[in-house]
Each structure stands twice: as structure tokens, then as C-alpha cells.
């Protein structure tokens, strides 16, 4: 296996993990009623975009893109967490 095949395998694995996290999030609601708010959705989208950008930076050996992706991923994670807290307060948990 050459280095390009290894990097592409890593990129594919990262994309699968990101998509898997979305399906896990959607599976949390067994009643099929919408229980997500704007911050949760936007945060998770930014988190996924950041993870993809970070992995792409690693594959392309671009430290700047990797750092940007890491920052975007963590900002998205914080926004999604804020949305989760808002939702918990709204539901009285």
C-alpha cells in the first residue's frame, strides 16, 4: 500500500465516522418528533465540515487547512453543545 492509498483510506474512514455521527444523533429520538433546534443543527454541520477539512488537510499535508478544520470542528461542537443545553432546558431535563 503506498502513501496515497493510505491517506485516501484515512479520508474515507473520517467521512464514514462523520456520517455515522449524524445517524447516531438522529436515532436518539424514538418518537420521530423533531426535537432539534437551530444551534444543534448548525453546530453539527459545522462540526462535520470542520472534520472533513481537517482530514483533507492531513491528506494534502496542508497544516493551515488542518488547523482551520480543527478550529471549525471544535466551534461546531461547542455550538451543538449549546443547542443541546437549550433543548434540555426547554424539555425540563
CA dist list (Å): 32 to 20, 29, 83, 93: 18, 6, 19, 19
| Confidence at residue 80, expressed as pLDDT on a 0 to 100 scale | 95
C-alpha 71 chain-centroid distance: 12
Helix (H, G, I), strand (E, B) or coil at 28: coil
Q: For 70-93, what is each residue's pLDDT tens digit?
A: 999 999 999 999 999 999 998 887
Q: How confident is the model at residue 22 (pLDDT cuts 50, 70, 90)?
A: low
Supply the DSSP symbol for 33.
-
Residue 65 · residue 51 · CB < 8 Å = no
Q: Which three cell numbers stand for residue 44?
A: 453539527
| Confidence at residue 15, expressed as pLDDT on a 0 to 100 scale | 62
Q: Which three cell numbers stand for residue 9?
A: 483510506
Q: What is the pTM of this model?
A: 0.65
Q: Which three cell numbers stand for residue 5?
A: 492509498
- Grid cell 467521512 — which residue? 15
Q: For 38-61, what is each residue's pLDDT tens digit?
A: 999 999 999 999 999 999 999 999
Amino acid at each position: 500500500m503506498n502513501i496515497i492509498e493510505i491517506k485516501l483510506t484515512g479520508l474515507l474512514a473520517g467521512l464514514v465516522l462523520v456520517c455515522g455521527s449524524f445517524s447516531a444523533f438522529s436515532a436518539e429520538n424514538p418518537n420521530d418528533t423533531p426535537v432539534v433546534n437551530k444551534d444543534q443543527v448548525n453546530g453539527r454541520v459545522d462540526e462535520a465540515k470542520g472534520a472533513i477539512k481537517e482530514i483533507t488537510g492531513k491528506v494534502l499535508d496542508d497544516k493551515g487547512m488542518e488547523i482551520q478544520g480543527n478550529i471549525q470542528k471544535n466551534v461546531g461542537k461547542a455550538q451543538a453543545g449549546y443547542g443541546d443545553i437549550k433543548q434540555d432546558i426547554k424539555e425540563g431535563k
